[in-house]
Amino acid sequence: MSETYAVNMDNVSKSFGAFKALNGVTLRVRRGEIYGLLGPNGAGKTTLIRLVCGLLEAHAGTVTVLGQRMPNVAVLRHIGYMTQQAALYPALSVEENVGFFAAINGAEAGVKDALELVQLYERRGSVVATLSGGLRQRCSLACALVHRPELLLLDEPTVGIDPQLRVQFWDYFRQMAADGTTIIVSSHVMDEADRCQRLGLIQYGRLLAEGAPADIRAQGGSQNLEEAFLSLAGRREES
Amino acid sequence: MSGHRIRAITRRLLQGFRRDRRTLALLFVAPIVILGLLGYLMRGSSSSPAVGIANQDSGPLGVVVADALKQSSHITTSEINSADGDAKLKDRSLVAYIVLPADFSQQAQNGNVSPEVHLEGSQPGEDAPVMQALQQALIMLASRVAGRSVSFQPKVSYLYGGSDYDTLDYFGAAFVGLVVFFLVFVITIVSFLNERSQGTLERLMASPLRRGEIVVGYMLGFTVIALVQAVEVLIFALAVLRIHNQGNVLLIFGMEALMVVAAVNLGIFLSMFARSEFQAVQFIPLVIVPQVLLSGIIFPVSTEPTALQWLSNVLPLTYAVNGMRDIMVKGADLTWPSLQVDAAVVAGFAILVIVAGTATLRRRLG
């Protein structure tokens, strides 16, 4: 199973006090695919991603990543994580930021490639505090992928960026997936779903449906993915 | 000016406080703690400085003065041999000793007495009660010498310090260390919280970095900066302010370096208990101010009420301040057992907070 799946979550629950952020989620992400986690704000997407990279520990169920039961520090070497907020050091330059995350992963040689991939090589000397939101997001992505991780976790990477940059980001993701990287990308924007190979629809901490975009449309009974999602969410509430 | 808008701002501010219990607690608890501590320090049943009396007088009047000194509420006395006096000052078992010379009664009959007062001298606050007690004892002596007035000319000598020293010389030694300790602590705690609030700590935790690597990396980075600051402070104190220094400059720097390592790691450790820079800064009145009051910088530990002395003796800053004064005022070197203890305690504290900081730095968020 560990050969087939990069991520294998089995009946996972996670609570914060009385609030159940995830409730019995079972989900499998195949190696080398782009898996989209879709759901409204507060659905449990960030909690799920944090469980995958070991920042949170499940109260029930198991999380297996790249064949290892999480949390496991050794696996983190093979994971890239881009947080929702462009978590960077504002006083450092673009190159210094990417260089730092390269160094802690033992991948200093990858800095130039990462900067070129996100088209920031020409701006490598710019101090992050002076950059626009979109450029910061690109720098943040470079930090996440500089060590060429096997699994890339992207928590709402396209929030707050313009449509042109969003298209560029999806080009990067496809390029990396083609090179064998598994990508889990969360979003609450339904029109991004079609760019994923498989989707997991999540709401109120439960997985509503899972499958290729076409399967989700079929399950929801609509050609429009947003309508399909609402239909599936409605059915779950009724049940 | 719109009263409505001003009210909105005021209401918004008070609503924020209502939900920030920690800030409310600080606003109302910290002043009571600090003022209470100050009140207890200054008005509490403070311990009297230990003073030795060597009565060598062959006549009857030396005993009168010695008895008066023994009954004084300002000092605690013991009888000593004058030959042992300096050794007792050095080991801090006495803060002063008074020698009433063999011809003391004769001097009194002649109308001019000169008792010897030997002061340890490294802490100016300790000298006043000794001189006050002696003054009162000599007034009693004057009442016993019938028929003529007696004038007093005590011969005062200092083991350390003395008339060459001014207030800055005494306090400067402690402040050189305190300034570095305080600033490094504040910078570290705020920087570490920045790491948390800007989201980079979450990223670090999702990387293969181990907790110990984060703590030691931080420690080394801040220590480099803080040591440069320590050099600057030292040069300014010695070359510009010309604070009196009897000791080896490298030893002062070594003590400062130990304080830097302790402050950096205390900052990292306490940052775990704050969620914002605002909350981090609140640690200053709770952690730093009581240490400043109790570490002997302003009030000598030996004159504090006994309960506070116990507290002072477990505070690392007490040992750091003592060590700095030992070096700069007394010229101590590493052969001095007291300096060995001071350095060992500060180093031990640094190790303790390194371990505590590493242990409390959680990889997981919840």
Q: Which of A56, A89, A105 comes nearest B364 by C-beta?
A: A56
Indicate the pTM of the whole model. 0.77
Q: Which of A71, A74, A83 comes nearest B199 by C-beta?
A: A83
Chain A residues with CB inside 8 Å of B225's CB?
A: none
Chain A residues with CB inside 8 Å of B207's CB?
A: 76, 81, 101, 104-105
Domain ranges of chain A: 5-238
Would you say B282 and B255 are in contact if contact means Cβ atoms under 8 Å apart?
no
Q: Which of A74, A81, A88 comes nearest B206 by C-beta?
A: A81
8-state DSSP, B340? H
Phi, psi at residue A34, to the nearest 5°? -100, 115
Is residue A238 pLDDT above 50, yes or no? Answer: yes
CB contact under 8 A, A50 and B208: no
CATH topology of domain A5-238: Rossmann fold (3.40.50)
Reported in sequence order, the residue ranges of A17-145 that DSSP labels E, i.e. its strands, are: 19-30, 34-38, 60-65, 68-69, 79-82
Q: Which of A76, A87, A153 comes nearest B200 by C-beta?
A: A87
CB contact under 8 A, A101 and B203: yes
Chain B residues with CB inside 8 Å of A50's CB?
A: 365
Cα–Cα distance list, A137 to A99, A115, B116 (Å): 16, 12, 78
* pLDDT confidence of residue A1: 42
| φ/ψ bin of B333: left (φ > 0), alpha (ψ from -120 to 50), beta (otherwise) | beta
CA dihedral B181, B27, B361, A19 (to 10 degrees): -170
Which residue of chain B comes nearest to A56, CA vs CA?
B364
CB contact under 8 A, B208 and A105: yes
A20 touches B: beta carbon within 8 Å: no
Chain A residues with CB inside 8 Å of B198's CB?
A: 85, 87-90
Cα of A228 to nearest chain B Cα, Å = 34
Structure tokens at B224: 């480099």
CB contact under 8 A, B365 and A101: no
* pLDDT confidence of residue A2: 46
Question: Which of A85, A98, A147 to mutate to test binding with chain B, by most B CBs within 10 Å of its CB?
Answer: A85
CB contact under 8 A, A73 and B363: yes
Cα of A203 to nearest chain B Cα, Å = 21
Q: What is the pLDDT of residues A209-231, one digit of tens each?
A: 899 999 988 988 888 888 888 88
| Burial grade of A70 (CB within 10 A; 0-12, 13-18, 19 or more) | buried
CB contact under 8 A, B363 and A81: no
CB contact under 8 A, A83 and B202: yes
Q: Which of B199, B200, B208 comes nearest A77 by C-beta?
A: B208
| A-B contacts (CB, under 8 Å) | 56
ipTM of the complex: 0.88
Chain B residues with CB inside 8 Å of A151's CB?
A: none
Angle value at C-alpha B145, between B141 and B147, nearest 5 degrees: 145
pLDDT in tens, chain B (366 residues): 888 888 888 888 888 777 777 778 878 888 888 888 888 887 776 678 899 999 998 888 888 889 999 988 888 899 998 888 889 988 888 989 999 999 988 888 888 888 999 998 887 677 888 988 998 888 888 877 766 777 888 899 988 877 777 778 878 888 888 888 888 898 888 888 888 888 898 899 899 988 888 888 888 888 888 889 888 988 999 999 888 888 999 999 999 899 988 998 888 888 888 877 777 888 888 888 888 889 988 888 877 888 888 999 999 999 999 999 899 988 889 999 989 999 999 999 999 998 888 887 765 555
CB contact under 8 A, B363 and A16: no
Q: Which of B198, B200, B364 comes nearest A55 by C-beta?
A: B364
d(CA B196, CA A133): 20
Domains of chain B by range and CATH?
A: 50-158 (3.40.1710.10), 167-360 (no CATH)
* pLDDT confidence of residue A139: 94
Would you say B179 and B136 are in contact if contact means Cβ atoms under 8 Å apart?
no
Cα of B352 to nearest chain A Cα, Å = 25
Chain B residues with CB inside 8 Å of A76's CB?
A: 206-208
Q: What element of type H or E holds A96?
A: helix A94-104
Q: Hunting for tokens 């110990």 — which residue is that?
A: B212
| Burial grade of A61 (CB within 10 A; 0-12, 13-18, 19 or more) | middle
Alpha helices, H only, B75-199: 85-90, 104-109, 127-144, 167-197
CB contact under 8 A, B203 and A77: no
Which residue of chain A comes nearest to B201, CA vs CA?
A87
Q: Which of A77, A81, A90 comes nearest B203 by C-beta?
A: A81
CB contact under 8 A, B202 and A90: no
Cα of A72 to nearest chain B Cα, Å = 9
Q: What is the pLDDT of residues A104-158, one digit of tens each?
A: 999 999 999 999 988 899 999 999 999 998 899 999 999 999 999 999 999 988 8
CB contact under 8 A, A104 and B198: no
* pLDDT confidence of residue A112: 95
* pLDDT confidence of residue A52: 95
Q: What is the pLDDT of residues A4-52, one digit of tens each?
A: 899 999 999 999 988 989 999 999 999 999 999 998 888 899 999 999 9
Helices and strands (H and E) in chain A: how many: 7, 10
Calculate mean pLDDT across residues A75-95. 92
- For chain A, helix, strand, coil in percent to 5 are 40, 30, 30
CB contact under 8 A, A83 and B203: yes
d(CA A131, CA A118): 14
Provide the greatest CA pair distance for chain B: 91
Chain B residues with CB inside 8 Å of A55's CB?
A: 202, 205-206, 363-365
The residues in B 190-249 lying below 8 A from A, measured between CB atoms, are 198-200, 202-210
Which residue of chain B comes nearest to A59, CA vs CA?
B366
